[in-house]
Amino acid sequence: MTDQLEGQRMRASVLHGVEHVRVEEREVPTPAADEVLVRIEAVGLCGSDVHYYRHGRIGSFVVEQPMVLGHESAGVVTAVGSDVDPTRVGQRVSIEPQRSCRVCAWCKRGEYNLCPRIEFYATPPIDGSFAEYATIQADFAHPVPDSMSMEAAALLEPLSVGIATARKAGMAPGRSVLIAGCGPIGLICAQVARAYGVTEVVMTDLVPARRERALQLGATEVLDPAAGPLPEARFDAFVDATGALPAVRSGIMATAPGGTVVLVGMGEDDMSLPVGTITSREISVTGIFRYNNTWPTAIALVQAGLVDLDSLVTARYGLDDVVTAIETDTDPGSLKSVIVPGLR
Residues that bind ligand NAD (CB under 6 A): 47-48, 161, 180-186, 204-207, 210, 225, 241-244, 246-247, 264-267, 288-290
> Interface with Zn ion includes 46 (CB under 5 A)?
yes
Is 9 or 55 the residue whose CB approaches ligand NAD more closely? 55
Options 32, 101, 215, 278; binder of Zn ion; rule CB under 5 A: 101
> Interface with Zn ion includes 207 (CB under 5 A)?
no
Residue number closest to ligand NAD, CB atom = 183
124 contacts: CB under 8 Å, gap ≥ 6: 61, 62, 63, 64, 65, 67
Is 68 or 163 the residue whose CB approaches ligand NAD more closely? 163
CB of 113 to Zn ion, least distance (A): 10
Judge whether 214 and 194 are in contact, CB under 8 Å.
no
Rounded distance, CA 299 to CA 145, Å?
Answer: 8
For 95, phi then psi, to 5°, come to: -95, 125
CB of 154 to Zn ion, least distance (A): 10
> Interface with Zn ion includes 107 (CB under 5 A)?
yes
Is 28 or 222 the residue whose CB approaches ligand NAD more closely? 222
Q: Which does 254 bind (CB under 5 to 8 A by kind): Zn ion, ligand NAD, none?
A: none
99 contacts: CB under 8 Å, gap ≥ 6: 118, 119, 120, 136, 137, 140
Question: What DSSP letter does each residue of 131-179 carry, written as one string?
Answer: BSEEEEEGGGEEE--TTS-HHHHHTHHHHHHHHHHHHHHT--TT-EEEE
Judge whether 70 and 42 are in contact, CB under 8 Å.
no
Please report the beta strands in 194-233, taking only residues with DSSP state E, as ranges in sequence order.
200-204, 221-223
Angle at 308 between CA 305 and CA 310, to 5 degrees: 125
Is 156 or 283 the residue whose CB approaches Zn ion more closely? 156
> Interface with Zn ion includes 104 (CB under 5 A)?
yes
Q: Which does 100 bind (CB under 5 to 8 A by kind): Zn ion, ligand NAD, none?
A: Zn ion
Q: Which does 266 bind (CB under 5 to 8 A by kind): ligand NAD, Zn ion, none?
A: ligand NAD
Positions touching Zn ion (CB under 5 A) are 46, 100-101, 104, 107, 115
